[in-house]
Amino acid sequence: MRPALILAVASMLVAANVTIAAEDPDLDVDAYNQCLLEKMRTAADETPVSELREACLVDSRGAETKETEVADAMEEGDETTPLDKRIDETRATEQMRFVITPYKLNYLMVGYNDNPNTAPYEEAFPDEEVAFEPAEVKFQISFMFPIVQNIYRGNGDLYFAFTSRSFWQLFNEEFSAPFRETNYEPEFWFRFDTDWKILGLTNRLLTFGYNHQSNGRNRPLSRSWNRLFASFVLERGNFALGIKPWIIIGDLDDNPDIDDYLGNYELHFFYKWKRHTFSLMTRNQLQSGFETGAYQFDWSFPLYRRLRLYTQYFNGYGESLIDYDYFNNTLGVGLSFTDYF
């Protein structure tokens, strides 16, 4: 936009903000004004002003306020659930230009494992010393993007998503702080909104698609697999349950027994209590007789705006692809930038 036009539009919007602030006392007006000016400076000429205002309203209201609203609504008997709110917010960000919609958790933390797996690296580099520090930085970046929406009668969307999870030996100065492992996970899926009633729960989302996961390395460190999966997300109030079965397709030359450790299903339990979010993931326990499965427990709590204190405990096999057949017991604490709901 031209500078003169920016100033003219900004003056009108700032004046209008007095009314907005009166209607929405939780709005950080200074942050809202600054956001508007910045977006008008960088946005394309054809970008609607309403889109800029909507984006800034989302950014300028405190995370604490929004989460308190959900908790209060649940206590007052409002039928809106945390999952409803997550679905609505996801749809809103999908309509905004220059906004990336989060998919899985995005986080940064320091994890501690007193017995890191060195065997694959000793095999790959037999003439070199291999030593890992028990403490390392673990972070995950995950986003999704709608490709086609409303495929059938106003329902059904095709999505693409990408997730990257890294294990960084930041404190390993002797070996120049290497990235021990990074897993890359692109996937495509169709998602449908549903309202099926099952055992007192409501199945809200039905998903089926394709998933590839690999660590992008050469043999003998190469690990990868491909899956066709389905996903069912059920809820009742503050509780949600994710059921994700899959079928492995293609060859498994680099990890032929991966299904013995990661199985062919995953269960994810979620619970929202006031401003706290708890989750429990479990997979391959019944199939393996509780011998080669895994648990992961997450807890998060808002600190400031979008920042949340994040704690993760993992116990079992498959924390990463390089460790799919190795037992890990890891505790990590850090920050998450998105939440389950």
Task: For residue range 188-205, list pLDDT tens digits in order.
Answer: 999 999 999 999 999 999
pLDDT at 56: 76
User: How crowded is the C-beta side of 161, counted as CA atoms within 13 Å?
Assistant: 26
* pLDDT-based confidence at residue 26 (cuts at 50, 70, 90): low
Tens of pLDDT, residue by residue over 204-230, are: 999 999 999 999 999 999 999 999 999
Of 59-63, 194-198, 261-265, the poorest mean pLDDT is in 59-63
Tens of pLDDT, residue by residue over 157-188, are: 999 999 999 999 999 998 889 999 999 999 99
Tens of pLDDT, residue by residue over 120-141, are: 999 999 988 889 999 999 999 9
* pLDDT-based confidence at residue 259 (cuts at 50, 70, 90): very high
User: Is the pLDDT at 323 greater than 80, yes or no?
Assistant: yes
User: Is the pLDDT at 33 greater than 80, yes or no?
Assistant: no
Radius of gyration of the chain (CA): 23
Of 26-30, 124-128, 160-164, 254-258, the poorest mean pLDDT is in 26-30
Cβ neighbours of residue 88 closer than 8 Å, sequence gap 6 or more: none
User: Is the pLDDT at 43 greater than 90, yes or no?
Assistant: no
* pLDDT-based confidence at residue 50 (cuts at 50, 70, 90): low
Across 8-27, average pLDDT:
50
CA distance 317 to 329: 9
Q: Which helix (H) or strand (E) holds 144?
A: strand 135-148
pLDDT at 107: 98
* pLDDT-based confidence at residue 68 (cuts at 50, 70, 90): low
Amino acid (one-letter) located at 205: L
Residue whose tokens read 């008997």? 77
pLDDT at 67: 52
CA distance 315 to 108: 19
What are the distances in angstroms from CA 130 to CA 23, 297, 323?
61, 30, 16
CA distance 151 to 192: 9
pLDDT at 13: 47
Known catalytic residues are 212, 214
Cβ neighbours of residue 246 closer than 8 Å, sequence gap 6 or more: 211, 227, 228, 229, 230, 264, 265
